[in-house]
Amino acid sequence: MKINRFVVDGIPLTTYEVENNEVKPLIYFFHGFTGSRDRTIMGRGEILANLGFYVVAIDAYLHGDREPIEFKKLTNQEKYESIIDIVIHTANDAKNLYHNHFMMYDNIKKDGYYAYGVSMGSATAFYLATIEPKLKAISTIVCFPSFVEYYKDKQTKLNFPKDEKYISRMRLYETLDPLIHYERLQHVKIFMGIGEHDDVVDNKYAKALHEKMQKTILKSYNTNHVSTPEMLQDSFDFIHKCKKENE
């Protein structure tokens, strides 16, 4: 297993690749809120690489090695005010990295790529799918495809201010929300693994997307906001099957 850590355009990355001289499709790994590309990947980089992917784990905006001191000092409640901004920024970073950097690699396929997202990282994958025609499939766990309703829910629970910044954000999120604009996801194959007892991310958002897009795969597991071995295996099987179908 070849593991490299480097920085491109100011964005810290870790890549995983089986050294076998094959040309592989790229898959992004998007971590969750307050996580990082190395600390919270928990072996999934190696698993995805062994399935035949060139894996790129990326530190989300304001996370990991991209976390400025000012943001680090904030409480989790204060950080939550920026969660959708973080998702949008990270997805745009991933798209730009693929087209401006990874497309130049001889060992990476040029016909399209994939994404695997956990919690906040799932929202990154959903939003990336709405802006990237070359994204073929996403595998998401403890996931949410909503911007507007999710953000409203967090504002209510965490009581952050409904000030001008909040109003401005909501106006923007309404134009970009993957759940509201689900038609922008029609070209992408989607797996959603949800916890039946998730008390961090309400599973109603994934269920709502499945109602709108019956072709998505939605599976519920007897867990809260953590993955189970079965959920992980199903998520890996799905993305591997999508890769095989595109070969």
Q: What is the pLDDT of residues 18-75, one digit of tens each?
A: 999 899 999 999 999 999 999 999 999 999 999 999 999 999 999 999 999 999 999 9
59 DSSP 8-state letter: P
Band of residue 175 on the pLDDT scale cut at 50, 70, 90: very high
Angle between helices 164-176 and 83-100 (to 10 degrees): 50
Count of helix runs (H) and strand runs (E) in the chain? 9, 8
pLDDT for 155 equals: 95
Q: pTM above 0.75?
A: yes
CA–CA dist 80, 54 (Å, integer): 31
Q: Tokens representing 18? A: 């089986």
| Paired residues of 56 in beta bridges | 15, 28
Structure-block tokens of residue 106: 């001889």
As a whole number of angstroms, the distance between CA 78 and CA 160 comes to 7
pLDDT score for 90: 98
Tokens of 141: 């766990």
- 247: pLDDT strictly greater than 90: no
pLDDT tens track for 189-215: 999 999 999 999 999 999 999 999 999
Question: How far is Cα 179 from Cα 201, in angstroms, rounded to an integer?
Answer: 15
Mean pLDDT calculated for residue range 78-86: 96
d(CA 75, CA 191): 32
pLDDT digits (tens, 9 = 90+) for 84-123: 999 999 999 999 999 999 999 999 999 999 999 999 999 9
pLDDT by residue (tens digit) across 138-155? 999 999 999 999 999 999
- CB atoms near residue 6 (< 10 Å): 9
Fold of 2-245: Rossmann fold (3.40.50)
Q: Which pair of structure tokens corresponds to residue 209?
A: 């997307």
Is residue 124 a contact partner of residue 90, using CB atoms and an 8 Å limit? yes
Q: What is d(CA 15, CA 28) in angstroms, rounded to the nearest whole number?
A: 9
